Amino acid sequence: MSKPFGPLPPEFAAQSGDLMIAGRSASDWVREHGSPLFVYDPTIVATRVAAFRAAFPGVDLHYAIKANPHPAMIVAIGAMVDGLDVASAGELAKATVVKPAASISFAGPGKRDSELAAAISAGATLNVESEGEATRALAIGDRLGVAPRLAVRVNPDIELKGSGMKMGGRPSPFGIDAERVAPLVQELVQGGADWRGFHIFAGSQALDTQALIETQAATLALAERLSEEAGHIPPLVNLGGGFGIPYFSGDTPVDVAAIGAALGVRLAGSPLTRVGTRYAIELGRWLVGECGVYLTQVVDRKQSRGETFVIVDGGLHHQLAASGNFGTVVRRNYPVAVAHRIGEMPADEEVSVVGCLCTPLDRLADRVALPPVQIGDVIAIFLAGAYGATASPSAFLGHPAPIEVVATRA
Ligand SMILES: *Cc1c(COP(=O)(O)O)cnc(C)c1O
């Protein structure tokens, strides 16, 4: 029995069997740019942003650039969102080219003094992850003669149920345990910081709409409680994000309209809203994951003990996540297609698509039913817009880096 694969994102239509990406066929893209190739279509991101705006009026949208830090993507998305979230001095440098520093926040454990200084002198907000980091940031602000913009990242006592990556309710290298936050806020204010508020991120890749609604409500309640304990009004509460996308067979998209409606009711009744607190949601994967396709050409086909292998010129060194080796427990198949045989029947040849690396981990699709595949065909692996090219071990085995193109439509 062949194994199922996830749903193709709705934007990718076919024209006479050819997969179309941003108005051009996949084969065209490969002919012009080569293979293996990531193509990103920012107009798909724009539709996600529009859906967010409709669902969450008045809530700021931030883009977590680690999901896809391609410079042209940061430019395109930077123009659509209210803020950028970065996680290193390198990302900070890329973000400040695109957005004013006041709309950039920098989270992540283990920020070095040089990184704190770069953020403080640029005027970006540091989401402090520990008391020690807060002390260092204040001292660096003193030395530079700048009041550092500091938000407190909270390690919440809640967790995002059903999320692929849990980040709350347990010991964590991220954020400061909720019960120690109020005294720290007071110290920051007394220490001369420009206190920016709270950052509360409870998890990632959640597809359970109801769980997201409950987590946001609990996150807001926590922010209200901490503000009261601290005796200070947070200018901004970053409610986290964690909206997932459907990668696998049986997955369904999150209902952002329902999440937004529930949050809207909750925010309207919040004492923080009455005193002027703003809110932000930070998203990476949900904004960019579906806009990217990884295209890779078939180099060889072979049979071995009853299994047919289609061997491509790409692999996990470019798209680690599709091989199931990026934070997944059970290996399941990403949406996959033969790019110029979309909809072709019968699609009943069972093949495994494997990459060109010398490791059995390099399996991009495991025993899937596809139309007949030949050498030279282009295989498309969808959902390659987030945590693809830069989240994969591209130096492993010394193959060339992937080509990445950001589509512009005529
Ligand atoms: C990685 C990260 C994000 C983005 O997560 P997605 O699942 O890609 O939306 C948001 N906030 C923080 C703090 C992160 O570390």
Residue 49 resides in a domain: no
Would you report the helix, strand and coil content of the chain in percent, each value rounded to 5?
A: 35, 25, 40
Residue 369, domain CATH:
2.40.37.10
Residues in contact with ligand 1 by the CB-under-6-Å rule are: 64, 66-67, 85, 107, 201, 204-205, 241-242, 282-286, 386
The dihedral built from the CA positions of residue 268, 269, 270 and 276, taken in this order, carries a sign that is positive
CA-based radius of gyration for the chain: 23
Note if the pTM is more than 0.85: yes
The pLDDT score that the predictor gives to residue 167 is: 55
Q: How confident is the model at residue 162 (pLDDT cuts 50, 70, 90)?
A: low
Measured between alpha carbons, how far is 88 from 109 in angstroms, rounded to an integer? 10
Residue 19 resides in a domain: yes
Alpha helices in 163-269 (DSSP H): 181-190, 209-230, 256-268
Residue closest via CA to ligand 1's atom 4 equals 284
DSSP state, residue 180: G
Residue 45 resides in a domain: no
Residue 61 resides in a domain: no
Task: Write out pLDDT tens, residues 315-338.
Answer: 999 999 999 998 877 889 999 999
Domain count, the chain: 2
Instruction: Judge residue 97's burial from the number of C-beta atoms within 10 Å of its C-beta, 0-12 exposed, 13-18 middle, 19 or more buried.
Output: exposed
Rounded distance from Cα 282 to ligand 1 centre (Å): 7
Contact at 8 Å (CB) between 204 and 242? yes
Instruction: Judge residue 374's burial from the number of C-beta atoms within 10 Å of its C-beta, 0-12 exposed, 13-18 middle, 19 or more buried.
Output: exposed
Domain residue limits at 383: 10-40+290-406
Residue closest via CA to ligand 1's atom 5 equals 284
Residues 304 and 347 in one domain: yes
Residue 236, domain CATH:
3.20.20.10
Average of pLDDT values for 95-107?
A: 98
Structure tokens at 276: 């002027």
Strand partners, 370: 349
Residues 294 and 279 in one domain: no
The pLDDT score that the predictor gives to residue 343 is: 85
pLDDT surpassing 60 at residue 268: yes
Residues 219 and 267 in one domain: yes
Looking from the CA of residue 107, the nearest atom of ligand 1 is: 13
Q: How confident is the model at residue 187 (pLDDT cuts 50, 70, 90)?
A: very high
Of 262, 283, 304, the residue at which a domain comes to its end is 283
Residues 82 and 215 in one domain: yes
Residue 176 resides in a domain: yes
pLDDT surpassing 70 at residue 202: yes
DSSP state, residue 75: H
The pLDDT score that the predictor gives to residue 170 is: 85
Looking from the CA of residue 127, the nearest atom of ligand 1 is: 13
Of 221, 252, 283, the residue at which a domain comes to its end is 283
Residue 20 resides in a domain: yes
Residues 381 and 262 in one domain: no
